[in-house]
Structure 1
Amino acid sequence: MSAESTASSGVPHDNRFKVWRQTRPFWAGLFTMIGGVPIAYLPYGDMRLGNVTLAMKTTAGAGALIIGVLLITLGLTMWFQPLVRVFAGVAAIVLGLVSIPVSNFGGLVIGFLFALVGGGMSVSWAPAPPAPEPVAGFDEGGESGAPAEAMAAPVEYAHLHDGTTQPVIPQQGPEAPAAETTIEANGGRNSAG
């Protein structure tokens, strides 16, 4: 990759993964895939502890393999098709529950717990609200090249005879008087021109 490709895309290379991860249920997919590994492996694998071999092979090995592969597939689906995250989450929860009787207590409970947590996270994940559009005339730092008077007109207040103040709303258009006016206490207008 060259510097030109980074500048043309607008997103630096080190931020691409972060942006990709934040637009989908990343952790839900990761937990679901981690849950599928022990569920699929334990009925076929064996562990050796010194001279002792611990074999977990069961007659339901094919069912455990199918559940584990489906959980890994659902985790990838959460990553690459986030629109179906609710379906994938519910399916991961159901497969995690089915793995308890089929796959050695759900992959020694480890795979079962990861599948349930990943499925629940996928169901509850929601995309972030869209970022607000930048205001025209402002640069990225929030500063504007326009003078402060052009951004907001100062508010003028009229002092009434009873001691209160009231904002003066300037009239717009051809019917606006040419002279300045003040508001009188009796509600009428008096030309100060």
Structure 2
Amino acid sequence: MTSAGAPAYAHGDSGFTRARRDFRTWRRTRPFWAGLLVLLAAAPIIYFPYFNLSLGGLSVAMSTMAGAGSLVIGLTLIVLAGLLWFQPIIRFFAGCVAVFLGVLSLPISNFGGFFVGTLLAATGGLLALAWGPVDVRPVEMPGATEGASAAAGPEEGAGE
């Protein structure tokens, strides 16, 4: 950062390079991959209950009575993905709900989108539970300064 508060970019950086760097910085401060998997889980859970398959003259409709339940589960997963990206402080709640909805979609939404939606929701939810914010402060190595050895305790042979 410069003294004026603006980011210090190299003069030759293109707009794409700056945007990519800014996106990488944004992505690393939140459970991005967990949110992406939870978002992708919503697609098969919503899609398959409304899927119509035509084989020649034979039409097989996959629409079920659980279409409304599948829609609610899928839309809730989409909202949870947005919360994981834009409110990472609630990652524990969103991860637990994503895993629960993934398992709940097994009986409601054609085996959870033929297991694809269930696996994506469970994996994304567990990634959200495992994610933790990164400490960006530099880590000091023990013994790197003179004061660190005095704080570490007595040296060997000092009690003899």
TM-score, normalising length from structure 2? 0.73
Q: Which residue in the other structure is 2:6 paired with?
A: 8
What is the deviation of 1:129?
1.2
Contact 1:37-1:72 within 8 A present in 2 as well: no
Q: Which residue in the other structure is 2:117 paired with?
A: 111
Q: Does 1 or 2 have the higher relative contact order (CA < 8 Å, sep 6+)?
A: 2
- Where does the alignment leave 5 or more consecutive residues of structure 2 unmatched? 10-17, 140-160
TM-score, normalising length from structure 1? 0.61
Calculate percent identity across the aligned residue pairs.
45
What is the deviation of 1:51?
4.4
Contact 1:85-1:122 within 8 A present in 2 as well: yes
CA distance in 2, matches of 1:105, 1:10: 51
CA distance in 1, matches of 2:25, 2:98: 25
Counterpart among 104, 108, 113 of residue 98 in structure 1: 104
The structure in which a higher percent of residues are helix is 2
Q: How does 1:23-172 map to 2 (within 5 A)?
A: 23-132=29-138
Q: Which residue in the other structure is 1:191 paired with?
A: none
- Greater C-alpha radius of gyration: 1
- Where does the alignment leave 5 or more consecutive residues of structure 1 unmatched? 1-6, 134-193
Alignment coverage as a number of residue pairs:
127
